[in-house]
Amino acid sequence: MVFSKKTFIYNTQKLMNLLVISDLHVGAKARAQDFSTNIEDMCCRNTPDYINDFECLVNSENLDVTHILVAGDITQTAAYEEFELAAKNIKKIADILEVDVQNIFFIPGNHDSSWVDEKSSLARNEPVNLTISKKYMNIVSHPFFSELLQNAVHNHMFEAPFGSIWINDHLVVVGINSAARDGASKDVHHGAVNIDDIKQLETKLINCDLKDKVKILLTHHHPKNYTDRTFPDNDFSIMQNAEAFLRFATENEFDVIVHGHKHIPRFDIHSDYQNYPIVALSAGSFSASLKDYHNGVANFFHIIQFEGQCPQNFNRLGKITSWAYFDNNKWICADKNRDYIAHEEYFGDVRNRKVLKEHFRREISSVLAQKNMFRWKKHLEEKPQMKYCNLTLRELALTEVCSEEGWEYVPVHGHSNDFLIMPEGK
């Protein structure tokens, strides 16, 4: 696959930057006092003004956001007062970023249904649909979350097919409620999607105008298992019927899957027999207290930035920028070794390791035949699509080629995404 500056497609529309937050767990066990309903709890004593810390970072880094995605577990126990506090804080975040309410999208998580109301309904042997309706009464009755759902062109978040579809000029967000069929009576709590529900949502999606729009699939539970460094036990909370969910994503050519539930973030690329690569972002937790269960894992937010489109296969080109919060340092750049996600993760270039190695071997050899060094920054000027290689894959391919060819890899001091390649000993 070969690109040139002439064929490389940049966005001609307004740049889209999507803020992703998940697992706020607003309530008694939130990590900050302004997200807690019990400000005397030890969980939040060290963080009195989380929103202010967020605003300071936004201003210092000049962060630009156009849309907000909230991937579930907005509250801890689904109490109305928790939704009230969550709405207040989400609106503050939107105000800081100057994001209109029509550009805020959410799905509920397993903590956003009231098990108290559900158990009461089950005790009366009420129909399943009524039980599901009752456990969501608090979020449905809250004016802020109700308004967000009313902005959807199809709103069935709390009834079959348990999903909503939002469409604006440049973006489609499909939210699937993977927590609807989870409940107090289950021995093992996991997410689930119903195959018939997916078919209904697909029918609705087919009838929508999706041409040239970025497509986001938003859910709460993880559709794949991840290596877990904080729990020794097996993870049984993965989404049931995850294969059907992922097939729905590839067959309808979504650009990004965003989910929460796992409090440790991940960046990955998903593909199946359709050979259509989809960015998959596990968002971690924005404001839950993670000290007791996750050994001091950070809190996170992410910004998905769409910058262009591949002219050959029409993949979206862009990057995900991730930030991590610790008590001592406040918001800092995420680190791959510490956080399992890098500060910057690029996406869009789909060449595999073998193809990348041959590209680097050819291009570096050509430059070194005329000059004493190859510089990455200069190479990007000639082939700008290379910016969108996955950085981990790029470093792996470069390391192997340098070892095979006897070249030396030299990082450029002060430039995290620039390096030199020189013959060894030069």
The residues pairing with 174 across neighbouring beta strands, listed in sequence order, are: 165, 217
Straight-line distance from the first to the last Cα atom of the chain, in angstroms, rounded to the nearest whole number: 32
Contact 239, 190 (CB under 8 A): yes
Q: What are the residues whose beta carbons fall under 8 Å from the beta carbon of 285, sequence distance 6 or more?
A: 22, 23, 24, 25, 73, 260, 263, 299, 300
pLDDT digits (tens, 9 = 90+) for 271-292: 998 889 999 999 999 999 987 5
pLDDT digits (tens, 9 = 90+) for 160-190: 999 999 999 899 999 999 999 888 777 777 8
pLDDT score at 314: 85
pLDDT digits (tens, 9 = 90+) for 371-408: 999 999 999 999 988 999 988 899 999 999 999 999 99
Q: What are the residues whose beta carbons fall under 8 Å from the beta carbon of 332, sequence distance 6 or more?
A: 323, 324, 325, 326
pTM recorded for the entire structure: 0.93
Of 203, 112, 95, 116, whose CA–CA distance to 157 is shortest? 112
pLDDT digits (tens, 9 = 90+) for 226-263: 877 666 677 778 899 999 999 999 999 999 999 999 89
pLDDT score at 254: 96
SS (H, E, C) the chain: CCCCCCCCEECCCCCEEEEEECCCCECCCECCHHHCCCCCCCCCCCCCCHHHHHHHHHHHHCCCCCEEEECCCCECCCCHHHHHHHHHHHHHHHHHHCCCHHHEEECCCHHHCCHHHHHHHHHCCCCHHHHHHHHCHHHHHCHHHHHHHHCCCEEECCCCCCEEEEECCCEEEEEECCCCCCCCCCCCCCCECCHHHHHHHHHHHHCCCCCCCEEEEEECCCCCCCCCCCCCCCCCCCCECHHHHHHHHHHCCCCEEEECCCCCCEEEEECCCCCCCEEEEECCCCCECCHHHHCCCCEEEEEEEEEEECCCCCCEEEEEEEEEEECCCEEEECCHHHHCCCCEEEECCCCCHHHHHHHHHHHHHHHHCCCCCEEHHHHHHHCHHHHHCCHHHHHHHHHHHHHHHCEEEEECCCCCCCEEEEECCC
pLDDT digits (tens, 9 = 90+) for 93-110: 999 999 999 999 999 999
Statement: residue 12 has pLDDT above 60: no
Of 192, 169, 188, 163, whose CA–CA distance to 179 is shortest? 192
pLDDT digits (tens, 9 = 90+) for 192-234: 999 999 999 999 999 898 988 999 999 999 999 887 766 667 7
Statement: residue 8 has pLDDT above 60: no
Statement: residue 141 has pLDDT above 60: yes
pLDDT score at 4: 42
pLDDT score at 43: 80
Contact 47, 36 (CB under 8 A): no
Statement: residue 370 has pLDDT above 90: yes
Angle formed at CA 325 by CA 324 and CA 331, multiple of 5 degrees:
85
What is d(CA 332, CA 325) in angstroms, rounded to the nearest whole number?
Answer: 6
Higher pLDDT, 130 or 233: 130
What is d(CA 360, CA 262) in angstroms, rounded to the nearest whole number?
Answer: 36
Other C-beta atoms within 10 Å of 271: how many?
13
Statement: residue 1 has pLDDT above 50: no
Percent of the chain clearing pLDDT 70 (strictly above): 93
The rounded mean pLDDT for the chain is 91
The residues pairing with 172 across neighbouring beta strands, listed in sequence order, are: 167, 215
pLDDT score at 6: 41
92 token code pair: 């503050």
pLDDT score at 415: 65
pLDDT score at 169: 87
What is d(CA 184, CA 65) in angstroms, rounded to the nearest whole number?
Answer: 37
What is d(CA 386, CA 72) in angstroms, rounded to the nearest whole number?
Answer: 34
pLDDT score at 3: 41
What is d(CA 68, CA 413) in angstroms, rounded to the nearest whole number?
Answer: 35
200 token code pair: 């209904």
Statement: residue 2 has pLDDT above 60: no
